[in-house]
Amino acid sequence: MSINPWLNTEVSLLKGKDLLSLYDLSNLEIDEILTKCETLKTMHKLGADYQPLKGKTLGMIFEKSSTRTRVSFEVAMWQLGGHALFLSNRDIQLGRGETIQDTARVLSRYLDCIMIRAYSHEDVKLLAKYADIPIINGLTDYEHPCQVLADLFTIKEKKKKLSGLKLAFIGDGKNNMANSLLYGCAKVGMDIAVASPKEFLPDKEVVEKASIDAMMNGSKITLTEDVFEAADGADILYTDVWTSMGQEEETEYRKKVFAGYQINQEVLSAADKNAIVMHCLPAHRGEEITEDVMEGDHSVIFDEAENRLHVQKAILALIMA
């Protein structure tokens, strides 16, 4: 009898669980995802066959459109042997007369797992409460856990460690990326400095929750309005768009407020000489990041984007297999 060396015979810590927030994950669960991701990425590069999700179906609910989330989850399911169903607002009755509770109960009878990309985090939590199958948060206005897991994996790939590093997030400290990075960095013992205009500094509740993990894991959280204070000695510079989906009416106001919160060569020079630059994409070149930095030697942005696929595969395999 041949034994596949890639198969992990131990029971996954995440099997059958929801993934709604990085704050809910233990250090061991994050480590399990990153370790599985490394294995699956290696297998992918070698062309190894690994299809633990044959006969499994993932429903993908999209209230918000996406390039990376849709393609990475759909390809991930296909590569793992399963099938993914794309469900937009036009395809299902959610939000058009049918309650979230009823939708959760019905889809639980058809599917093995649901990934949802939505506006309201509370709606996703309600879906998880009434579903009998695992729910994966593909993005809400509050958090983007799958993206930050891919970010942590990318940092570990490039820096060979997570604990003891410093990440500087420059931009909107109240958005879902800032929230998830605060939770994620605190969990893995990484210092994080958030530079935002005063009215856009992170919410107190998020900082308080992240601070508990930071204290336990020996990391530090810094909030500042000074971009160069945040960037000083940073191992990772991170940014996101100034105006997220659903905030389009604030675009011109945000361009004025965030005008000084751009990752450019001057900011890069304040970071560690071996710093890497990250962006969750899509990017507005010339706004939150300059063209030369995005295309420069310090940028790992497209490696980061690729790693969304490998992280989604790890999450799906651990939760569903």
Q: Which residues are catalytic?
A: 117, 144, 147, 240, 280, 308
Q: Is 117 annotated as a binding residue?
A: yes
Q: Is 37 annotated as a binding residue?
A: no
From the list 54, 58, 61, 75, the residue with the least C-alpha distance to 110 is 58
Whole-angstrom distance, CA of residue 133 vs CA of residue 48: 29
Among 191, 192, 152, residue whose Cα is nearest residue 173: 192
93 is in an annotated binding site: yes
Phi and psi, residue 120, nearest 5°: -90, 125
- The residue among 129, 114, 28 whose CA lies nearest residue 63 is 114
d(CA 129, CA 273): 47
The answer to whether 274 is annotated as binding is: no
**What Cα–Cα distance (Å) separates residue 92 from each residue in 62, 87, 95, 310?**
10, 7, 9, 28
**Is residue 43 a known part of a binding site?**
no
**Would the annotation count 140 as a binding residue?**
no
Distance CA 284, CA 286 (A): 6
Q: According to the annotation, is 67 in a ligand binding site? A: yes
Residue 245 annotated as part of some ligand binding site: yes
Is 240 assigned to a binding site?
Answer: yes
Single out the residue of 25, 1, 11, 10 nearest to residue 210, CA to CA: 25
239 is in an annotated binding site: no
Residue 8 annotated in ligand binding:
no
109 is in an annotated binding site: no
Q: In what order do the strands lie in the sheet with 221-224?
A: 221-224, 191-195, 166-170, 236-239, 276-279
Q: Which residue ranges make up the annotated binding site for L-ornithine?
A: 176, 240, 244-245
Q: Which residue ranges make up the annotated binding site?
A: 66-69, 93, 117, 144-147, 176, 240, 244-245, 280-281, 308
Q: Which residue ranges make up the annotated binding site for carbamoyl phosphate?
A: 66-69, 93, 117, 144-147, 280-281, 308
